[in-house]
Structure 1
Amino acid sequence: MQLDGKVALVTGGGRGIGRGIVDRFLEEGAQVAVVQRQALDTALQNHPQVAHVHADLSVPASIAAAVEGAVERFGGLDVLVNNAGIMFERSVSRILVEEWDLMVAVNMRAPMFLAQAALPHMRERGGGSIVNIGSVEGLGANPGHAAYCASKAGIHGLTRALAVDLGEHNIRCNAIAPGWITSELSENYLASHPDPSAARDALNGLHPLGRVGQPTDVGDLAVYLASDRSSFLTGETVVLDGGRTAKLPTPSA
């Protein structure tokens, strides 16, 4: 197993992309501390290799406490996955200062200071891996997503900076930039269309692979980035979108 003996902390690991990462980490032998405000479902609550660390990552004091909670439970830390994030749509003319600040606090500040808190524990273990979850919206943009796009572009830049600063400690940092990944939100979006089946077909058709991603697709890549098999890979943002951003649009007939 690729992560046998490793301890991982995954923020927002109870659902969506985070759950896909947690499930794959567990399959590969890791012990996983799931950091989030909400309670875990029964399957994770009862899993012997899982610990729930309750934290609101928009509160600065909760960040270091979350790392310490994971270390207390499992005795160390090898892998940090900065997955938790928020997204909302606001036009440039309507976004409020407090909304912008909240987006930056959760999507950018928390990953930075989680990495800071994790650093001494990873150094004690002789190194580690940080995996940041960015987005294709850190490279392009959808309407009404100025704050979200800025925060994810910032995560991509932070990834490179952490890789440069932490390499001397044998700590690697890479990012995954997912495209469309199936979630409760995406399913509700498709269901809102007059013809959900046609909307799904159109969405799948945007992807050269003919489908959208699944949370475990992100989990598969996160396993590789967290494992020793990627020991010479750092500072990279890997786009995981089924080829969608590689495909040039063509005019309709």
Structure 2
Amino acid sequence: MMRFENKVALVTGGRSGIGRAIARRLSDEGATVITAQRGEDEEFDWIAADFSDPHTPERIVAEVIARTGRLDVLINNAGMMMEAGIEELSLEDWQRNLNLNLTAPFLLIRAALPYLRKTRGNIVNTGSVEGLAANPGHAAYCASKAGLHGLTRSVAVDHGYEGIRCNAVAPGWIDTDLNLDFIENAPDSEAFRRDIGRIHPVARTGSPEEVAALVAFLAADEAGFVTGKIYTVDGGRMDKLSLP
């Protein structure tokens, strides 16, 4: 299936994890993919990006247009998470989380809109189940992802009449390198792996490729009547009540 033939996709944070799976899926389906992140991408055309700099998003979009002449799909995937209680969370760290997880996507969308308007393109944001609920010590992350979900809806409402769609995926526990390392470094990795599987009705954790499959659908023309939605990709975790 070549749903993205002759289309250009920008994927932030596309060098690893969910972003890498999204970049590969879009490329496999015909897209010209450009990734943007701090590190060099050995697989795809890439642009160096420090999203803590508010001038970076506009520069990135301008570079994509200079290289390809168009933009059809914007994937806002770059993000960060840190663990700290509210009383331990500095204002600087709070701002770092919001800047990368929420402000950078806003600035990228703003810069991309003139070009997405021309192609009737669309946007998919990587949110999180923690934009819908909360794990302990994740105040900044939860707030930023909830904000990203709200931004998703607003863009869909404001720009749908121009043919621009905007949706988000909200992954749960996904087997990225970061999460797999976390499991391996747990005091009892086998017990942790067993326990993390039990909280999911499907009895396992998810893969980056499963998130990428949904992103590809939302970015494709066949999802033309889908916009403003937040789709959980969590193996049913958010639907399962805890035991008494």
TM superposition score category, shorter chain reference: over 0.9
Counterpart of 1:7, as a letter, is V
Where does residue 173 of structure 2 map in the other structure?
Answer: 180
CA-CA distance at 1:18 after TM superposition? 0.4
- The SS at the match of 2:232 is strand
TM-score of the superposition, structure 2-length normalised?
0.97
TM-score of the superposition, structure 1-length normalised?
0.94
- The SS at the match of 2:217 is helix
Where does residue 147 of structure 2 map in the other structure?
Answer: 154
Match of 1:109 among 86, 103, 106: 103
CA-CA distance at 1:249 after TM superposition? 1.1
- The SS at the match of 1:221 is helix
Listed as ranges, the matches of 1:1-253 within 5 Å are 1-41=2-42, 44=43, 50-125=44-119, 127-251=120-244
Question: Distance in 1 between the 2:147 and 2:115 partners?
Answer: 25
- The SS at the match of 1:60 is coil
- The SS at the match of 2:186 is coil
Counterpart of 1:82, as a letter, is N
Counterpart of 1:87, as a letter, is M
Question: Distance in 2 between the 1:120 and 1:195 partners?
Answer: 51
Question: Distance in 2 between the 1:188 and 1:216 partners?
Answer: 18
CA-CA distance at 1:205 after TM superposition? 1.4
CA-CA distance at 1:194 after TM superposition? 2.9
CA-CA distance at 1:37 after TM superposition? 0.9
CA-CA distance at 1:198 after TM superposition? 2.0
Contact 1:51-1:73 within 8 A present in 2 as well: no
Question: Distance in 1 between the 2:58 and 2:91 partners?
Answer: 26
Question: Distance in 2 between the 1:234 and 1:175 partners?
Answer: 9
Q: 1:100-141 CA deviation, whole Å, 9 max, x = no partner?
A: 11111111111011011111111222x111001100000110
Question: Distance in 1 between the 2:240 and 2:75 partners?
Answer: 29
Counterpart of 1:2, as a letter, is R
Question: Distance in 2 between the 1:203 and 1:183 partners?
Answer: 14
Unmatched 5+ stretches in structure 1: 45-49
CA-CA distance at 1:68 after TM superposition? 1.0
Question: Distance in 2 between the 1:79 and 1:201 partners?
Answer: 38
Contact 1:3-1:223 within 8 A present in 2 as well: no
Instruction: List structure 1 runs of 4+ shifted beyond 6 angstroms.
Output: none
- The SS at the match of 1:90 is coil
Counterpart of 1:178, as a letter, is P
- The SS at the match of 2:55 is helix
Contact 1:13-1:19 within 8 A present in 2 as well: yes
Question: Distance in 1 between the 2:6 and 2:203 partners?
Answer: 37
Between Structure 1 and Structure 2, how many residues are aligned? 243
CA-CA distance at 1:79 after TM superposition? 0.4
Question: Distance in 2 between the 1:95 and 1:162 partners?
Answer: 30
Q: 1:50-106 CA deviation, whole Å, 9 max, x = no partner?
A: 320111111011110001111112220000000000110111111111111111111
Counterpart of 1:234, as a letter, is T
Question: Distance in 2 between the 1:72 and 1:62 partners?
Answer: 15
Contact 1:51-1:70 within 8 A present in 2 as well: no
CA-CA distance at 1:195 after TM superposition? 2.5
Where does residue 47 of structure 1 map in the other structure?
Answer: none
